[in-house]
């Protein structure tokens, strides 16, 4: 066994949630139109696909209205071919509104996990494990921009769950805002998300 093979074997030992699920890992990001749900799905999909080199299909569902209305983005991750590109049983649900949480929390896998904004969970629904995080509150109070709540959430799921590498998600966000005046804001938001994810991971393990 060459040195490189050994190193690869060592790296392989630590399995990400996606690898543990073998087949496919179904992620649904959900909320209201205008919250940046589809952009969030796109960034996560791009980071896992181009950055982490896994197979990803990202689809979405939205109504004819531009704002309001229920919106969701589905990201299916797999080491093999992805056939059906929408979530069947959800491994990870990210919910930004009570409607989204209540609608999809019953479609979870038994060992699935829900990461919800604090305002989204009024009453507990379904059996899945729920972690509530004040994404919108932090975005509003610390960054004065509620819209960066989804970028904080992306950073959070990276360090809390390890479903996307920190480098890939950071690069994807940087590429997205490279020529925008909001680059610095979004880079700070993703770092905030990384930090939060690490804190919660300590708290829950």
Partner 1 sequence: MALNRISSDGHPLMFVQGNEACVQGALHAGCRFFAGYPITPSTEIAEGMARELPKLGGTFIQMEDEIASIAAIIGASAAGARSMTATSGPGISLMLENIGFAYMIQMPIVVVNVQRGGPSTGLPTKLSQSDTMQARWGTHGDFTSIALAASTVQEVYDMTIRAFEVAEHFSTPVFLLLDELIGHMREKVVLNKHDNQAVVKHAFPEIPPEWYLPYTESLDLVSHPAPFGKGYRYNMTGLVHDRAGFPTSIPAEITERLETLRNKILKHKREIWQLREYYTEDAKYVIIAYGSAARAARGAVESLRLKKTKAGLIDLKSIWPFPDEPIKEILDRCNIKSVIVAENNMGQLIHPVREMLGGSVKIASVNRYDGHPLEPQEIINVVKEEIYA
63 near partner 1, rule: CB under 8 A: yes
Q: Which residues pair with 72 in a beta bridge?
A: 30, 61
47 near partner 1, rule: CB under 8 A: yes
- Picking from 36, 33, 32, 75, the residue whose alpha carbon sits closest to that of residue 161 is 75
58 near partner 1, rule: CB under 8 A: yes
By CB under 8 A, the residues from 103 to 162 that bind partner 1 are none
170 near partner 1, rule: CB under 8 A: yes
Size of the site for partner 1 (CB under 8 A): 32
Q: How far apart are CA 13 and CA 108, in angstroms?
A: 27
How many helices, marked H, and strands, marked E, lie in the chain?
8, 6
**Region of 26-34, 49-57, 96-104, 151-159 interacting with partner 1 (CB under 8 A):** 49-57
Q: How far apart are CA 31 and CA 96, in angstroms?
A: 5
Our CB check for partner 1 shows the closer of 41 and 193 to be: 41
By CB under 8 A, the residues from 82 to 101 that bind partner 1 are 82-86, 88
179 near partner 1, rule: CB under 8 A: no
- Picking from 169, 105, 184, 96, the residue whose alpha carbon sits closest to that of residue 136 is 96
Query: Of these, 30, 35, 57, 158, which contacts partner 1 (CB under 8 A)?
Result: 57
- Hunting for tokens 């770092």 — which residue is that? 191
Query: Of these, 2, 81, 122, 144, which contacts partner 1 (CB under 8 A)?
Result: 81
Our CB check for partner 1 shows the closer of 57 and 159 to be: 57
Q: How far apart are CA 185 and CA 205, in angstroms?
A: 30
Q: How far apart are CA 75 and CA 84, in angstroms?
A: 11
Q: Which residues bind partner 1 (CB under 8 A)?
A: 42, 45-47, 49-51, 55-64, 81-86, 88, 167-168, 170-172, 174-175, 178
């Amino acid at each position: 066994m060459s040195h490189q093979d050994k190193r690869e074997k060592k790296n392989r030992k630590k399995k990400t949630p996606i690898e543990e699920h073998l087949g496919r890992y179904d992620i649904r990001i959900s909320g209201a139109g205008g919250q940046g749900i589809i952009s969030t799905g796109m960034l996560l999909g791009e980071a896992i696909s181009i950055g982490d080199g896994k197979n990803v299909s990202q689809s979405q569902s939205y109504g004819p209205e531009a704002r309001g209305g229920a919106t969701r983005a589905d990201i299916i991750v797999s080491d093999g071919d992805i056939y059906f590109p929408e979530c069947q049983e959800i491994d990870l649900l990210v919910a930004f509104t009570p409607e989204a949480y209540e609608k999809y929390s019953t479609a979870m896998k038994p060992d699935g996990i829900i990461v919800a904004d604090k305002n989204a969970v009024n009453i507990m629904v379904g059996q899945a494990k729920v972690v509530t995080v004040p994404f919108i509150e932090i975005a509003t109070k610390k960054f004065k921009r509620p819209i960066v709540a989804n970028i904080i959430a992306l950073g959070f799921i990276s360090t809390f769950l390890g479903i996307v590498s920190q480098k890939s998600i950071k690069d994807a966000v940087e590429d997205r805002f490279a020529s925008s005046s909001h680059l610095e804001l979004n880079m700070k938001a993703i770092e905030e998300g990384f930090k939060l994810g690490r804190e919660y991971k300590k708290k829950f393990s």
